[in-house]
Every structure is written in C-alpha cells, then in structure tokens.
Amino acid sequence: MTETLPSMGVDLFDVDRLHLTEGEEPPLSPAEETARDRVWDKAVQANTFLFDGPVVACAGLEWKEPRTLALSWVRVTYRHYALRRVPGATALPSLFVNVVQPTADGRVLAARMSPSTAAPGRWQLPGGSVEPPQPGEVLDESGLAGQAARELVEELGVIAPAEALKLWAVTRGENGSVGLTYLAPALPEPVVRAAFAAASAAERAQGREPELDDIALVGSPQELLGLPGPHADYLEPIVRRFTGGR
C-alpha cells in the first residue's frame, strides 16, 4: 500500500482532484479466510440486518501534485472488514462518501444511525460506503459525486444533482478509513426537516426501518457535545472546519 500521508489521529486534507485506479485485493491464507468468515457469521447472528454486499476498499493514497490525490481501490464485500478482528490479519481501510448539508443560517446537519445498522446510535454525516461500478463502467470523480447525491436523497430525502456537490475534504481516521466529503448547497432548515420526515415516513410505509432515526443542526463543535451517544471520528473535525471553530 502506497502511503505518503500522515496518519496521526483524524487527518483532514484539502483536495481538488482525485485520480482513481483499480487494484487487486491482497490474497488471504486459508486460515485467515476461515477466521474472517467465523467473525462475520457471528456478527450476522448478533445483527441479522447485516448483509455481505459489494463495496470498495482503499488500497493506497499518494499525492501526485498539490491538492491532487491518487487513490487506489479494490473490490471487496463487507465481510472483508471482519479481518479487523482476526489477530495477525490486515484489513484494507474502508472508503466512504459523506455529505456536509448546511442550512441557510450556517449550521451543519448531523444524523443518528438507527438501531438496526452496523453503528447503532452513532452521530455522523449522511453518507455510506463506496460501491464498485457496474460491469462496463468505471469509478471516477463524477461517479463518486453521484453516489454522494444518492446517499443524500436516500437518507435525508434531499435532492441535489451530482454536479452541485463539491469535493470539499478527504478524511482519514479509525482503522485508516478514508472519507470523501462533499459539500451540498445550503437549504432552509424547514426544507431539510420536511425532506427528512418524508423520507423516513416513506421507508416505514414500505415496512423498512430508516437508516437514520434522527437529525440535529449544529453551529459549532461545542454543540456536538449535546448529542448523546457515539460520534463518527471525522464529525468534529468536519464541523470545526465548516464553522470556523466557533
């Protein structure tokens, strides 16, 4: 894995461009595969909502020129991250997109994960794991922005075209996980709340639990302290940057 970025705490980088290259998942020994599957099966027994769908992991990061980041990615499934709990095994860092959804008065939306998710009760930005491209397609900057836009409408009910989302930061935190953070156009608070309520109601009408069960609007890192429960490690640095630390 190419590594030219610092890795202390939660890192936040300004990035204007991404260069994306597909790589191959590192091979596992039979013993590692068996241990991984054992950990995954146990996790599914504890939470039957987990599924082993296809996702993208980060295989390497490297600066090519100022504010241009080369990112190598590989196709895995969620099962791959069970390797984090296998002694001696190495799991690739996860790769995800998330969105800063501001309100017109300069606050940032934080969202709480539902009890049925892999991170119940965690406050974070709307977003999700990057998915691999379909056969014949490529994973590029426009595709990533499209995935961020899809997460926004699925989780919040907020419709924003991919071209309206700006790559605003790249974060790296726990387990080396890499987050691509996009900035959405600001909206009035009533519009955001109405969209979230409608999206949640539509999910429940289909017999499904929404992925997010609450939202909050925060105007400073200090206001995050009023949100009980775990927080995504990137949330405070992102809020601090957007609000200027006030």
Residue found by looking up tokens 């597909």 in the block: 22
Name which of 219, 212, 167, 165 is nearest 189 in CA terms. 219
Is position 99 within any domain?
yes
What angle do the packed helices 189-205 and 141-156 form, to 10 degrees? Answer: 80
Q: What is the CATH number of the domain that holds 83?
A: 3.90.79.10
Name which of 172, 160, 166, 188 is nearest 242 in CA terms. 166
pLDDT of 8 > 80? The answer is no
Q: How many domains does the chain have?
A: 1
> Rounded to an integer, what distance in angstroms lies between the CA atom of residue 151 and that of residue 142?
14
Is position 226 within any domain?
yes
The residue range of the domain holding 166 is 11-243
Single pTM value for the model: 0.92
Is position 5 within any domain?
no
Mean local confidence (pLDDT), 213-230: 96
Is position 2 within any domain?
no
Which of the four pLDDT bands, split at 50, 70 and 90, describes residue 245?
Answer: low
Per-residue pLDDT reduced to its tens digit, 165-220: 999 999 999 889 999 999 999 999 999 999 999 999 999 999 999 999 999 999 99
SS3 content of the chain, % helix, strand, coil (to 5): 30, 30, 40
> Rounded to an integer, what distance in angstroms lies between the CA atom of residue 178 and that of residue 114?
22
